[in-house]
Amino acid sequence: MRFLLAWVSGLVFGLGLLLSGMTNPAKVKGFLDVTGAWDPSLGLVMGGAISVGVVAFALARRRTQAWCGERMEIPTTTVIDKALIGGGLLFGLGWGMAGFCPGPALVALGSGLAAAWIFVPAMLLGMVAFDLLLKRR
C-alpha cells in the first residue's frame, strides 16, 4: 500500500509539473523575468499548489499518522537564521540561472531534457558538498 501511495503521488506530481510547464526552463525564466517579457502563468500554478499545500498541512497537523501508517513528522521550527536566508538565496540564484528547481529537474531528467542531464548532477554535487560542510561543523 505504501509503495502504491508513493507511486500515485509521484505520478500526479510529475504530470502536474509537466502540464504546468514547470519543467521547461524557458517558461520558468520567463516567469522570473519581471522587468522583461514576463510570463505570469506560473504564478497561477504556484498559487494553486500553495492553496492545496495550506489545506493539506492544516489537515496533517490534526493527524498523528500518515495514510500509509507512518508517524507524521511536521517541522515546528519558525527560526529565520543566516543558514535559511543563505540557502534561500542560493536556491533562488540557481533557479533563476538554470530555470529548474529540484522536483521539476528530476521530472525533466526523466523526460529526456538535455539541460536536466547537466543540472541534476550539479544539484547532487551541491547536496553532497553541503553534507560534507555540515559534518565539519
Quick one: 119 exposed, middle or buried, by C-beta within 10 A (0-12, 13-18, 19+)?
A: buried
Residue 29: what are its φ and ψ, rounded to 5°?
A: -65, -35
Residues whose CB is less than 8 angstroms from the CB of residue 82 and which lie 6 or more positions away in sequence, other chains included:
none
| 71-119: pLDDT as tens digits | 888 888 899 999 899 989 988 888 888 888 888 999 999 888 899 999 9
pLDDT of residue 11: 92
Residue 107 · residue 23 · CB < 8 Å: yes
1: pLDDT strictly greater than 80: no
Boundaries of every domain in the chain? 2-136
Tell whether pTM > 0.85: no
pLDDT of residue 122: 92
pLDDT of residue 119: 93
| Closest residue by Cα to residue 126 from 100, 53, 27 | 100
Question: How many angstroms separate the CA atoms of 115 and 117, rounded?
Answer: 5
Question: How many angstroms separate the CA atoms of 41 and 52, rounded?
Answer: 17
Question: How many angstroms separate the CA atoms of 37 and 40, rounded?
Answer: 10
